[in-house]
Every structure is written in structure tokens, then in C-alpha cells.
Structure 1
Amino acid sequence: MARARRISSTQWRLLTRDRECSPHFDVRLASGYSAQTYRHVNPSDELNPSRCGTVLRARPTWRFPSMLTRSPRPWRAVALPLVFIATVAQAQSHITSPKEQFGHNIGDDYWLATYDQFQAYWQKLAKESDRMKLVEIGKSAEGRPQLMAIISSPENMRKLDRYKEISRRLASADGLTDEQARALAKEGKTVVWIDGGLHATEVLGAAQLMETVYQLLSRNDEETKRILNEDIVLAVQVNPDGMQLVSSSGAVMFAPPFRDPFNYNFDPAIPMGIDAVGAAMQTRFAMEHKPGVTIRSGSSYSTWWNGGLRTTVYFHNMIGLLTETIGNPTPQRIPFIPTMTLPRADLMYPIDPQPVWHFRQSVDYSVTANYAVLDYASRQRDELLFNIYRMGRNSIEKGSRDNWTTTPSDIAAVERTIAESGGAAQLAGEQTSADETAAGKGGRGGRARAVGPAGGGAVGNPVAPFGNGTDMKFFNTVLRDPAKRDPRGYIVPSNQPDFPTATKFINTLRHVGVTVMRATSPFTVNGKTYPAGSFVVKTAQAFRPYVLDMFEPQDHPNDFAYPGGPPKRPYDNAGWTLAYQMGVQFDRVLDGFDGPFDKVDGLAPVPLGTVAGANGAAGYVFSHQQNDAFTAINRLLKAGEDVFWLKSAVSANGKTYPVGSFYVAAKASTLPLLQKAAMDLGVSFDGTATRPAGDATKLSAPRIALADVYGGSMPSGQIRWLLEQFEFPYTVVYPQDIDAGGLKAKFDALVLPSGLLGQGSRGGGGRGDAGSRAEVPAEYQRMLGSLGEQRSIPAIRDFLEQGGNVVSIG
């Protein structure tokens, strides 16, 4: 019997792009769908949370150009196509129920289906129903098929290609008039992506997905038929390996809207759309007498972060939703918490204490949430689809003219400028006369006040509660400073030291549908000449919000509980500028520009490296300024080559290599390895007739120990991913390994990710919930324990004193 205690989450998104960049599960409303590249996660993100790419979190995710997506974290997610018009077939063969298939209803206590059972069931349903098409979208890390169920009316199923095309055209928003967009919106279908199971121990995600699909295939009520006619649903279990692994061994739910802050780059229609869909969900919960659903401050979720299936779609003009629900096969209880029994704006329908809460109740809540999204998508199809286009047009228009994005730092700068100019009284607000207040004038800058029954005051002046402002010169000189305009575009020069990494960055943008151009010949902008092959990313495109978010630094607000109080913790990362993280050199261009540019179709090829001066070479020098040079070194060391780190500058073939460059001695086996590295990695090598003079340190493959805990540390998983990308060999060690001592005999370096001290067994900041030692399978017993001061710190000190290296992060 599997035991899981996690809260499950679900997300939805309204997608406007034909590619989504989040590897999570979501539900989205879209006008069409497109192929999505999946990055498969490890069997359990609890055991190894190194997953984190471009797929939504643990929710179902649908990828369509214009759709609303919902992604359940440990729950389920639902994706709804936004524009399909078809008639649901009335006659279907018998649809096998979960009870008939498994001998259990979905949500029965003490029972979970494995992925093998899940797969067999969906394969059977696809044969039984003309409402469902089952496609394999890839393989999991362990080789299991990743299945996506496409669900809609039979007539819609025959026109999927047309609906995809409509979604793509609306999402790009380019070359369409409003009238043409409205016609396409009327013809199209809403696409909703629902995923579940990304976090394997949040077992509700996979369970609700099976139940939702069964109900969509078996029900013939008017609402379900309308959903099938107007929506295209994409349902995906996003972690097959984790489902197989886990199933073999005060409030009930959080739902949208989300708390502040929201990101300043995306269209204001995004948070408005989230609120609208959230209201539909809340209303349905109330009408079905399902209390205990909290919103906004009831959870830490905001819309700031750009990195999950729920949130990445915001920057592509789509609505993304997430819900989080309690529930697992072991019955639980809803405790009595007095403060959670009083209705308020963020908990309008409190739930009474429940001595027993069954898993099936959680499944029912999740299905209600899914149906609320699908129903909304079907009823608002035309509007949702047109809004995707309109938001795209807004982005194109903003990128074609001067525009400013106001940030918290800008407001702080205005306040400082006003104070320094002697305008502190204006900023604080001054009293105004009764006559001025009644007239709605408000004087030089004071806060308007109500002054009596005949005066009007705040009643007559709707902006009165916000004060009457200050001199417009501060707005014009600070917030509209020409030097602070949003860029019209970015230029990534091809002559930068690590252009292969810059190309990887560009391909990351291409993966999520950003339009990129490449110079076919040299060109000049603002007096600077750029070589052929340079990349150009203009902001006059539908996904402008995403472009800005990848090039510009984030400016998270100072978010405090109250003046002088503690800060509110961001839901996830507060900053993530990818161009900075990857060390990409680029120039911002604030005015319109053009040049000899061709659009990049597909992915940009990584530029090839060269091997020069190979004849009679004693060895080869190569630069340390390219990230992939370290991949090349690891390959050379693995092949038994002699590689050195140079402590003096050296010249080769007319080039000067600075201190820190690398040298590989020539052997019979060396040249083919270098030629392959030049081809695969874009690293260039210059032959030298003699070995470089000066000191050099011979390199050896490092024996790296990477610390982790049972249940998985996300920082450790992210470091693991990084080591794998550059082909560093490493061994994961757990508290028992460290406490045993003797580390120097096995390792040269120990990497300690942030947050590990005192963390263990429960993993992931306490989210793993390993339960008692007896419940942990034998093969994972060696991972148990926690890093502590009494045994772990002395063992690490011994390692250091014996000549080991400790890399402590955070």
C-alpha cells in the first residue's frame, strides 16, 4: 500500500503560443495546440528534484497557441482548447469505468493505480471512445511512453490541424486585422491543457486526471457536450516513472486568484483573466457545496515568477492557473482552527472541521475545478481567443514605439527626487480647502477629504483616496526619462568570446516561440558595427513580455507584511535574467533599427570550432572563456589525454591566449578527439610546435561528491543537472556517507548545496514527508538521516584538513 501525505496542486493556462517553455503540468485555454518539447523528470521529484526545465510543475499541461492552462502541482491539471465547434456523437460504445478496469473507484482509500495500469486504461478508452485520441509525445527517463490524450467532439477531432493553424495565427498576432482575428476566434476552439503527477508523491494529480478523462468520455449531459464541442482538452500524466515508483511502494484547497505581486512585463489582461476564471471556479465550488477553498493570501502563490508551466504562459499572453488540494489514499482529518471558520474575502466559504476526509473527496474537488475551467473556456471561447490575439497586438505596438515599464525602483527614484527638490509635503499630501475638495481640484498635492453632506469630497472625486498628486515634471523627468525607455530590440554580437553559449541562449528563446533574426552581412546601429552572424531580437512581437523578462533584470517590490514588518517571501525565484546567468554579451537598442536580417527558422546551429596548425603540432592551446571548453576537458581526461592549465600567457597562430588557458599534449589519439569537440561544441584549438613555456598544472578528473538528502534537495538537484550538462563525473552522497568519515580517500571535492544543514529525511525543505524509517523501501534506507553539527561537521572538517576541497553554496 502506498502512503502519501502531500498536498496536490493543479494549474491552468491560456496559451497564445505554439510552444510553451515550462516543463510542468497545466490546464490552458487555447485556440489551438502545437508540438511541445518535453523535458522528462526523474522517477520522483521527491527523490531527485533535479527536474526543472521548461515544463509546468506538477500539473497537466497543454501546449496550444491560445489556450487556458491549468496545472495541478501534486494534483491534476487541465488543458482546454479554446476554439472547436463540433457536435458530440450521441452514440458511443460502452466506456469502461475505473471500477470495471481496476476493481476500485478513483479515490478509494488505500489504493493507487500504477502508471502501467494508467497506460493500459487510457489505451482501452482510446479504442472505446471517438472523443479521445491517444498520442505518444516522448519517452520518460526510464523509457516509459509519455501519453497525451486529446479529447473533443468527433467532428473537432477530424479538424485538429485546422485548429492548430488558427491557434498559431492568433498567437503570433502578426499580419492580422481585428476583423480577421475575430473571424478566426469564432471559427477556432479553446484549447485547455491539463496535466498531473509531476510531483510524484502528490498523488492527487494523476488520480484526478484519470477521473476527469473518464467523465469527459462517458458523460452526455448538456454541459459536457458543450465542452466537447467548444474545447479541445489535452490531458497528460507528466511523470510516468514517478507514478510507477510511488504507487508501487484548515483549508481544503487553494485556487486562483493569486496574491501580489504580478510581473510588470506581461499584459494587464493576464491578471484580469486569472481573476475571471478564478471567480468561475469559486462560484462552482459554492454551488456544489464544496467549502474550504481559499484564494490570494491563502497561499504563497503569486504571478511574479517566470519558470513554470503556470507562469511562463503569462509571458505568452495566456492564462495559467494552479490549485493545491489536500488528499492522499490514507484518510485524513480537517482540524478545527477557529480563525479558519470566519468568512472573509480570501476564504468566502469556510469548511467545518471534518473527523475524516477521504481521498475521493479531493478527487471530486479537483474534477469540479477542472469542469469549472472547461465550462468557462467553452462559454467564453470567442473572447478568450480574440484576447490572445489582442494581447499579442498590444505587444507588437509597444515594441514599435517608445514605451516605459514602471518598476518599484522607478517609484523610489521619483520619491527621492521629490524629497530632494523640497517637495516632501507634496509627496506626503497636504490639506485642501473645502471648496477645492468639493470641486474635485485638491490643491497642489494634498489628499482630498470629505467635508460635509453637501461637499461631495471623496464621493464626488473617485481619485480622492489616492491624493491629488504632485508636479507633473517629476513624472516627465523620472518616469519618462528617454534613457529609461524599453528597448526596441537586442543585438547579440557574433564576435563575443563565448558565442556558442550565446547561441544556446538564442535557442532557448526559439524553443518558446520568440522570433529571432540573424545578420547576413555586417551592419551598423548607433555607430557600432556588428559582424555577420550576429543575432537580433526585436521587441515588436507577440511574446515581447518574455523577451524583456529574459534580457532585463527583475525588480521585485519590497513586499512587507506591514510597514516595518517582516518581508513576505516570494513564491519562487525573485530574479532569473537568463542572459545574465549565461554570460551573454548583448546591446540594448532604444530606437527603431533595421539591417540585413533573415528570420531564424527552427533552432540556430552552434557555430563550428576549428583545429588549426595540426601538422607537426606538439600540442594544442584552447581558451577558458567558453563554457563548453570544460566539457571538452572532461572528454579529453576521460580518454586519457594530458591536459594542462597554463599559468602564463601564450601565443599560437597569431592569437594571444591569456593566463588560465588550456593546453593538451598531442598524442596519436588527440586530433580526432579535438576535431569532434570542434564539431560538437564549437570549441577551437590552435596547434603549437612546442609545449608552451612557463608553469602549468596538469589536470586530472576531479572526484566530486555532491551532498543530498532523502526526499531530494532542489539546490542539489539543480547542481546535479549542471554537472551533467558539462559532463563532470560525480557521486551523490547522503548524510550517512558523510558522517562515516574517510571522505578524502574517495573524493577530491565535496559540494554542499544551500539549506542542507539540519535538513533530512523529509527532503525538499520538509515537503518529502518520508514517514517512518520502516516505511522507506530498503534500497533508499542508505539515503536517510540529516546533516548535523555533532557528526557531519567534524567529518567535513577532517576532509578539509586532509587536503580536500569543500564548495559550500548559499
Structure 2
Amino acid sequence: MIRSNKFYCSLAVLLLLRVSLSWAQAIPSPIEHFGFNIGDDYQLATYTQTEAYFKKLAAASDRVRIEDIGLTEEGRHQYMLIVTSPENMQRLDRYKEISQKLARAEDLTDEQAQALASEGKAVIWIDGGLHATETVGIHQLIETAWQLTSRQDAETKRLLDQTVVLLTHANPDGQELVSNWYMRTRKPEKRSLSHLPRLYQKYVGHDNNRDFYMTNMKESQNISRQLFVEWIPQIMYNHHQRGPAGSVLAGPPYRDPFNYVYDPLLVTSIDAVGAAMNNRLNAEDKPGYTQRAGSQFSTWWNGGLRTTPYFHNMVGLLTEIIGGPTPEDVPLVPHRLLPNGATPNPVAPQKWHFRQSIDYSVSLNYAVLNYAARHSDELLYNIYRMGRNSIERGSKDYWALSPKHVDAINAAHEKDKAKEAKSGDAESSGGDFSYGRGSGIPAKYFDAILKDPALRDPRGYILPADQPDFPTAVTFVNALIKSGVLVHKATSDFTVAGKSYPAGSYIVQTNQAFRPHVIDMFEPQEHPNDFQYEGGPPIRPYDAAGWTLAYQMGVQFDRMLDGFEGPFQRVPYGKLQSPEGHLTASSPSTAGFVLDARANNSFIAVNDLLQAGAEVYRMPQAEAGQGAFFVPATDKSKTLVAKAAADYGLDITGVAQQPAGATTKVSPMRIALWDTYGGSMPSGWVRWLMEQYHFPVQVIYPQDIDAGNLQEKYDVILFVTRAIPPVNEQEGDRNRGREVKELNPNEVPAEYRAHLGKITADKSIPQLKSFMEAGGTVVTIGSSTNLAYHLGLPVQNALVEMTGTGQERPLPATKYYIPGSILRLNYDTTHPAAWGMPAEGDVYFDNSPVFNISPVAISNGSVKPLAWFATKKPLRSGWAWGQEYLQNGVAAFVAPVGAGNLFAFGPEITFRGQAHGTFKLLFNQLYSTSGTSQTMR
């Protein structure tokens, strides 16, 4: 009997083993599905193939669940694979619940949090493919999915037992385009990723990694919902390319500065995971990892797929690795051959193959998962601890250290020293900055500054429902909600600090786990002065230096420095809001309706009305603000106006008679938008913007402009930044010995050949001049304001200095440098171009053009300034070295050219679909009045 039991037990084990082996064998390998191994030279998988493979993995393995997280901008399904042990898969909802509870840190004691951390599993996000031409990203994701699903080794099983892995495709549309483009050439050695014909994400291309606090794009919305509302992982890993020359990859930890709103536990956690990644590669004899000062990447900026999670207490990881389907060389860079803290294990020059990059990436993924598996309860508890710290900081008086506080300490001390010196009471401090010694500044200054009530962090923000552009304020609120922020809404009128607010106002308090993100969206960023050495050139930020979204969007809000309460109803996490519009009719015999030009959504309503054939007028003077729209009442317009109020959240007022000023009839214009072969991201953003606001637009290319006869086809042509070259571009190219070669049309598919070419001084500029002389309007943004110089208009670059030889030259970066930041402008709101704008407003500025205009040119009508810098300190958020040079500089102007006009806007008034506060500077130019194009008068 005993032998029989042993026999049957052994048989059972064998049967289980056979079932396990047969299950593993049923999981298709990449070569079985794709016909090649992931990482084979000259081979790329399309999204169609990848989608099918992911579905096969989910069908074949009990370790995988596939989730459709939403549609892409081109209508494809975007998938996330959830990979974990079969046992964990049975409790997946519970692990998600634990992850959410700990990340939000609400109503938990430390003991409860520790218990949940012990029960839960670390949730780890790994994505691929965001920048589709960085082909390692999506292919390492495929290989990682295969290995985690099929491997039977002890490590893989342990990792899946202790973690829940979210493998997410970041850009399906881009993979389909890029892989098909590369694979179109039959001969493998001739395949190339060069000269992609259009952007690899429908509207924004590479800027898809610049959209993660605004979440305009569908892919960003899908990803953000999983990251910030649904799963809230403790670690997220964002794969990119390309590594610094002479190294294989750049990874964490990153260089300074890091953003001052972070919990210090976040910074040290990034260091810890980065060390684990570097260690694994070294243990596997995979050299070439560089970190900190070895690369350009910092943790200052918000808005990227890797960086926005920082403001949610997540350990965000980014690696930039070399490699691709076409073999390449690791170049010899002598200074990278010496081991140091940035690159402890240098790589030798060598031929590099795609598979090496895939292997490195899988090792890095395993390193992250191994760290998470070994520290699962710690990661879960730490995200709670950071969230709890944020709640506590937002619940009391709190002073965050920043450059302004440091400057205030130094200024207060210097002021007292000057007083003491004057009175003869000065004493030697005996202090210096040497090792082990202080600055000589008494500690009392720390208390004086850090207890200054005016410098406290706010307890919360109130967005009044009666502000002129409340629909845009709601769009801002929705951006917060999509980022997982807790928002409240007032159910009735209330009063705080002596000010009354209407029902429907929104409240965002800072006593919440994602307080760093809240602060970052409302408060100015204070980027430190960051130079290569004292007196040397600046170190360019990874992206923007300042981006405060509330400023960019022109949202009105009040900062509350003290705690406050009211009739506030909690908005469920992730529930988007809709503004409530109202149509107020004066009487049954209403003559028409007035729409406020200060509200961006009024332009959507007007475009709908115009496309339906309704009449619309503008009013230079109106109670609703300059440039308000008047719509005469008809059966059709009444229906459309009522629908607009409901759909777009507009407060529209009916009037008993047509206002006396409503005499300027509005007509739609034939709008053309410049683009180029390969796609322009700023143009793509504007195209998206035109679609959102219902402006019909036609995309045109340099060949369309060079063909002439523009006035017969278009009324207005839009040029985004980098469309119009500088006057001396060709001469500069010759001086640098660089040939500017045109792409051979025979190498381009026929459907894209009409997109080739570029704007030139000899062919394109004369056509644009003729277009304006015939009555056309040209709108230029950013560097495309170069058109003013091509036309010989009486404007000059304001940001120049005289050399010792009497020659003008641009101000050097050691004197003037303003990377992407928010600045304050004054506007001429009496001009139709600026109707609906405030007298002063914020604008996104990125070393943008600024102009000098002579008083004579202004007085004789040659040029009309529209916006200018009125102060020496226009900086609102970011970094503005030498900002005093901007004072009295003109940021925007309009100039007549024949019967038409050139509008020039130096700052990025449509920046990444975020700058709602300056959209009207474009929208106002897109209507004709009284049957003619908008004049400058």
C-alpha cells in the first residue's frame, strides 16, 4: 500500500510536469510568430504582428491578461499586458485596490499601511515604443513579454510571484508606420529608418513624450488613466534611445537639478533602483552604463512619461540605449574610456548589433523587477509614506526651500551687515565656505525667512465659476483629474477669507498625496542658475524650465494660505467634469445673442454657426468684453446657440435688440497651414488645435507655395516656428562648409513627393509677398517671424549688442538665456488681433524672437505693436537669465503688406496645445470682417 501511494504520487508529479511543459510549449516563441528572433539584424515587427502576438500570449498563458486601454489617434487598439503568477492573477483586483489605497494614503494609519504593504504585490510599469523610431523600445517589450511568459527558471517565477508587471505599448500607430517604412526595402542591407514621410504619432510625433500633464492626445489619456487613476504603480520604466556617444546607455540616477517639490524619499529611491540596474549589467559583463553627469537627463521637468510620475511619488526610470535593426559602431570617445562615478564600467569601441540592445534591455527589466520583488513591501509602504508626507505638508503651515528662499536669507543677512557697518557695530563672522565650516550667516535668518507667513506654501486653490473663461478653467481641472488629483466642487455659494464664490466653483486642496503635482500645476517653477562654470555658458534644461499650467491656460484662481472649508463635494477620482452653460434670453422677442470673446469655446460656437450659414458679427466695444460676438436670432441660430451653450459650457446672453456696435460682419476664411515632409510637430499641434476648435484648415507644403496664385486658394496662411528660414541661412550654410541636400524624389513614395521642398528666399518669399499684397493674411509664430526680415519691414532684433568694432551681434548666452519659461506680456486689447485678451497675460517663451520698432514706424502705421514687455522682470515661472534685456521689447506686431497683413508672434502662442491663454491671438486672425481680410487698423 505504501509503495502504491509513492507510485501514484510520483505519477501525479510526472503528469503535472508534463502538463507544465506542454503549457510552456504551447506559448508561441517570437520566431514562430514573426518568422525571426527579436533583435535579429535588419528585422522589425509591425504593430499588426505585435497585436496578434500579444493576443496569442494571453490566450496561451495563465500568467498573462491583455487589456485594451483605449483607442489611439488613428483608431488602433492600445494594449497593456498584465503579467504575474497564476496565483496572483486570481487576486488581481485586490492588488490593484491595495496599490491605489497606499498611493493615495487616505484614512490609513502607519500600521494599516504596513499591513497592506505586506499583503500587496509591487506593481511595476514597463513600456515601449513611445518614440517609434527608437525601435529597441517596442522590441524589448515583445521580448520581455515572451521571456516572462515562457521562462520556467526560479528567478522568473520569484519575480512574478512578488510583482504585478504592466507591459504597455506606448505608440501603436508609430510602430506600424516605422516598421513598414523600414521593411519596405527588400534587400536587408539597404533598409533604413531615414526620411520617414510623416510624424510617427498622428499630430505630435516626438512630442508625444511632452503631453503627460496636459494629456491632449488619446494615447496620453489612455496611459495616464492606468498610471494615475487605475494602477498607480510604485515603479515605472520608460525605454528610450539614444545613449551618449561612447557609451551604451544612460540611466538613473540622473543629474541635478531635481524639482524642489519632490519628497526626498523619491530621490533616494531613484538612486537605489538605478544602482540595482547598473549592478546587474556589471554582474553580467555588460559595460557601458552611464549616469548622473554622464548624460543630459535631469529630474526637474514635468510633462514626460517618465517625469510626470515623479510628481505622483512614483520611482520613474528612463534609459536611453544605442542600437537598432541596422548594425552600427560604438565610437571611440577617449574621455569616456576612463572609469569614474558617471561611467564606472566603460565600453570599448566595437560593432553593435540589435540583439545586444535587446539583451541589455531585458537585463535592465529583470534588474528592476528583481529589486521590486526583493523590496515589494518597502516600495508599497514608501509610496504611502510619501503620500502621507504630502497630506501632512498640505495640512499645516509649510515652507518649501527654493532659490527665492535662499536669496531672501542672503539678502536679509547682507542688509543687516550693511546696517551694522554703517553704525560701526559690525563684527567679523569668522566663517567661510571651506570644508567643515559654515557661511557665517546666523541660524536666526533661517527662522526669519522660513516663518515668513507670506512665503508659506498654499493650503489650496479656488477656481471661481464666474471667471470669464470658465470652460477653459474646467479643461484645466480635467487635466488635473486625468492626472489623479483629488478635486472638490462647491455645491452652493460660499465665502472664504472674506471673498464670495459661486456654486460650481472648483477647489483643489494641497492636503493630498499628489500634492507635488498640484503645486507644480499652480505655482511658478524656480529653476536655479545652472552654468557649466562661473561666468560660463548655461546648461540647457532637459526640456522646459518653467511650465505652470494654470498660467499657460490663463486660468483665474485664488491661493489660500490658510486652511478653509465650505460646501465642497468630492469629485470621484478620474471623473471628468463638464462646464454648465446657460442661455439667458431677455424675452420671447429676443433679437439676438452675445457670446463673450474672452471664452475660447465661443470660437467653437461661432465656427459651428458660420458653417451652418448663420450670421455673426463682432463688437469692438461690448459689456462682455472687446470683440464679443453677436448672433442675430433666427430659428436656426436659436437652436445652434442653445446647443452651443449646453455643449461648450458657455454663458450666452439674449438681447432685445441688436447692439449698436455689432456692425462688423464675420465670415470664415480659407485657412492654410504650412507643413513639411516628415512632419512638423508645431504644425501638427496647430492642426490638432484647429480640429478641436472647428476651424476648417488645409495643410500645404512648400511646393504649394512656390506654385503661386495663392490668393485664389487661401485667405490666410499659418507658419509655425521653424518654417521660415533666417535671411542669411544659405550663406551661413556655405560659410560652415555644409551642403544642404534635397531628398531625392525617386526615393520617396509617390503619395509623399508633393510634400518635399522647403521655404526659400528666391521662390517662396516672393509668392508670399504677392499673396499679402493682393489682400492675404500671413500669420507667423516663433522663428517664422523671420518673414518680416525677408520682407524688409522696419523691425530689428531687440536682443543684440554692439561689439568693440561697432558690429551688432546676438547677445551671448552668458548674458541672456531664457529656455522654455512663462513670461508676462502687456497687450493692446483695443486691436482686433488681441480682442478677448487681458491687458496683461502670461505667455510661453523659449528664447523666442523679440523686436525693436522705431517710433517713426509706429507713428506712420508701418508696424503696429500688439504685445510687449513692460518691465525689467517679466519672468513668471522658469529661468530667465538677463531678463532685463527684454524691457520695452515687442513680442508681437502686425504690419500691412500691400492690401494684406503680416502678423508676427515671437512667443509660442499655441505651445503643445497647452497655451490656452494665448490661443485667441491666433483665432482672432482666422475670420474676415465685412467680406475682407482683417486689417491692422
TM-score bucket (shorter structure): 0.7 to 0.9
Deviations 1:185-216 (A, max 9, x none): 01101111111112222211111111011011
Alignment of 1:190-339 (within 5 A): 190-249=122-181, 250-339=246-335
Change (3 A) 1:665 1:333: same
1:550 to 502, 505, 521: 521
User: 2:605 aligned with 1:620, yes or no?
Assistant: no
Deviations 1:398-434 (A, max 9, x none): 01111112222332333333333336999xxxxx9xx
Change (3 A) 1:328 1:423: farther
Please name the residue that 2:64 is paired with: 132
User: 2:669 aligned with 1:702, yes or no?
Assistant: yes
Which amino acid in structure 1 is aligned with residue 530 of structure 2?
A: D
Secondary structure, aligned partner of 2:66:
strand
Please name the residue that 1:721 is paired with: 688
Change (3 A) 1:553 1:721: farther
Which amino acid in structure 2 is aligned with residue 584 of structure 1?
A: V
Please name the residue that 1:730 is paired with: 697
Secondary structure, aligned partner of 2:485:
coil
Deviations 1:753-790 (A, max 9, x none): 22334599xxxxxxxx9986554333222223333434
Report the alpha carbon displacement of residue 344 of structure 1 after superposing the two structures with TM. Answer: 1.8
Please name the residue that 2:400 is paired with: 405
CA distance in 1 between partners of 2:709 and 2:610 (Å)? 26
Instruction: State whether residues 609 and 681 of structure 1, in contact with CA within 8 Å, keep that contact through their aligned partners in structure 2.
Output: no
1:491 to 449, 454, 462: 462
Please name the residue that 1:39 is paired with: none
Please name the residue that 1:686 is paired with: 653
CA distance in 2 between partners of 1:328 and 1:448 (Å)? 49
CA distance in 1 between partners of 2:582 and 2:633 (Å)? 18
Equivalenced residues, count: 678
Instruction: State whether residues 523 and 532 of structure 1, in contact with CA within 8 Å, keep that contact through their aligned partners in structure 2.
Output: yes
Change (3 A) 1:411 1:424: farther
CA distance in 2 between partners of 1:382 and 1:719 (Å)? 46
Please name the residue that 2:84 is paired with: 152
Change (3 A) 1:197 1:773: farther
CA distance in 2 between partners of 1:128 and 1:618 (Å)? 68
Which amino acid in structure 1 is aligned with residue 529 of structure 2?
A: N
Report the alpha carbon displacement of residue 390 of structure 1 after superposing the two structures with TM. Answer: 0.2
Please name the residue that 1:798 is paired with: 770
2:564 to 593, 604, 612: 593
Instruction: State whether residues 735 and 787 of structure 1, in contact with CA within 8 Å, keep that contact through their aligned partners in structure 2.
Output: yes
Report the alpha carbon displacement of residue 794 of structure 1 after superposing the two structures with TM. Answer: 3.3
Alignment of 1:308-457 (within 5 A): 308-354=304-350, 356-422=351-417, 444=429, 446-447=431-432
Which amino acid in structure 1 is aligned with residue 609 of structure 2?
A: L
Stretch deviating more after TM superposition (169-178 or 616-625)? 616-625
Secondary structure, aligned partner of 1:785:
coil
TM-score by length of 1: 0.80
Which amino acid in structure 2 is aligned with residue 539 of structure 1?
A: T
CA distance in 2 between partners of 1:281 and 1:469 (Å)? 42
CA distance in 2 between partners of 1:480 and 1:423 (Å)? 23
User: 2:604 aligned with 1:636, yes or no?
Assistant: no
Which amino acid in structure 2 is aligned with residue 271 of structure 1?
A: V
Change (3 A) 1:150 1:448: closer
Report the alpha carbon displacement of residue 447 of structure 1 after superposing the two structures with TM. Answer: 2.4
Report the alpha carbon displacement of residue 385 of structure 1 after superposing the two structures with TM. Answer: 0.5
User: 2:583 aligned with 1:610, yes or no?
Assistant: yes
Alignment of 1:69-218 (within 5 A): 92-94=23-25, 95-218=27-150
Report the alpha carbon displacement of residue 117 of structure 1 after superposing the two structures with TM. Answer: 1.0
Report the alpha carbon displacement of residue 361 of structure 1 after superposing the two structures with TM. Answer: 1.1
Report the alpha carbon displacement of residue 740 of structure 1 after superposing the two structures with TM. Answer: 3.2
Secondary structure, aligned partner of 2:126:
strand
Instruction: State whether residues 743 and 756 of structure 2, in contact with CA within 8 Å, keep that contact through their aligned partners in structure 1.
Output: no
Change (3 A) 1:182 1:102: same
Report the alpha carbon displacement of residue 723 of structure 1 after superposing the two structures with TM. Answer: 2.2
Deviations 1:564-590 (A, max 9, x none): 111111111211111112221111111
CA distance in 2 between partners of 1:206 and 1:605 (Å)? 36
Secondary structure, aligned partner of 1:669:
helix
Secondary structure, aligned partner of 1:260:
strand
Instruction: State whether residues 247 and 290 of structure 2, in contact with CA within 8 Å, keep that contact through their aligned partners in structure 1.
Output: yes
Secondary structure, aligned partner of 1:146:
strand
Instruction: State whether residues 592 and 658 of structure 2, in contact with CA within 8 Å, keep that contact through their aligned partners in structure 1.
Output: yes
Which amino acid in structure 2 is aligned with residue 187 of structure 1?
A: E
1:573 to 534, 544, 565: 544
Instruction: State whether residues 617 and 662 of structure 2, in contact with CA within 8 Å, keep that contact through their aligned partners in structure 1.
Output: no
Change (3 A) 1:575 1:583: same
Report the alpha carbon displacement of residue 657 of structure 1 after superposing the two structures with TM. Answer: 3.3
Instruction: State whether residues 24 and 150 of structure 2, in contact with CA within 8 Å, keep that contact through their aligned partners in structure 1.
Output: no
Which amino acid in structure 1 is aligned with residue 544 of structure 2?
A: N
Report the alpha carbon displacement of residue 800 of structure 1 after superposing the two structures with TM. Answer: 3.0
CA distance in 2 between partners of 1:519 and 1:780 (Å)? 53
CA distance in 1 between partners of 2:364 and 2:725 (Å)? 38
Which amino acid in structure 2 is aligned with residue 184 of structure 1?
A: L
Change (3 A) 1:705 1:412: farther
Which amino acid in structure 2 is aligned with residue 487 of structure 1?
A: P
CA distance in 1 between partners of 2:339 and 2:742 (Å)? 35
2:749 to 777, 783, 792: 777
Which amino acid in structure 2 is aligned with residue 163 of structure 1?
A: Y
Please name the residue that 1:764 is paired with: none
Instruction: State whether residues 611 and 674 of structure 1, in contact with CA within 8 Å, keep that contact through their aligned partners in structure 2.
Output: no
Secondary structure, aligned partner of 2:270:
helix
Instruction: State whether residues 611 and 678 of structure 1, in contact with CA within 8 Å, keep that contact through their aligned partners in structure 2.
Output: no
Change (3 A) 1:308 1:425: farther
Quote the sequence identity (%).
55
Segments of 5+ residues of structure 2 without an aligned counterpart are: 1-18, 182-245, 422-426, 730-740, 783-937
TM-score by length of 2: 0.69
Report the alpha carbon displacement of residue 96 of structure 1 after superposing the two structures with TM. Answer: 1.5
Report the alpha carbon displacement of residue 163 of structure 1 after superposing the two structures with TM. Answer: 0.5
Which amino acid in structure 2 is aligned with residue 556 of structure 1?
A: H
Change (3 A) 1:238 1:102: same
Please name the residue that 1:20 is paired with: none
- Between the two structures, name the one with larger relative contact order (CA 8 Å, sep ≥ 6): 1
Change (3 A) 1:368 1:693: same
Secondary structure, aligned partner of 1:508:
helix
Report the alpha carbon displacement of residue 495 of structure 1 after superposing the two structures with TM. Answer: 1.7
Instruction: State whether residues 587 and 656 of structure 2, in contact with CA within 8 Å, keep that contact through their aligned partners in structure 1.
Output: no
CA distance in 2 between partners of 1:139 and 1:718 (Å)? 19
Report the alpha carbon displacement of residue 518 of structure 1 after superposing the two structures with TM. Answer: 1.8
Change (3 A) 1:775 1:192: farther
Alignment of 1:530-545 (within 5 A): 530-545=501-516
Secondary structure, aligned partner of 2:51:
helix
Instruction: State whether residues 770 and 776 of structure 1, in contact with CA within 8 Å, keep that contact through their aligned partners in structure 2.
Output: no
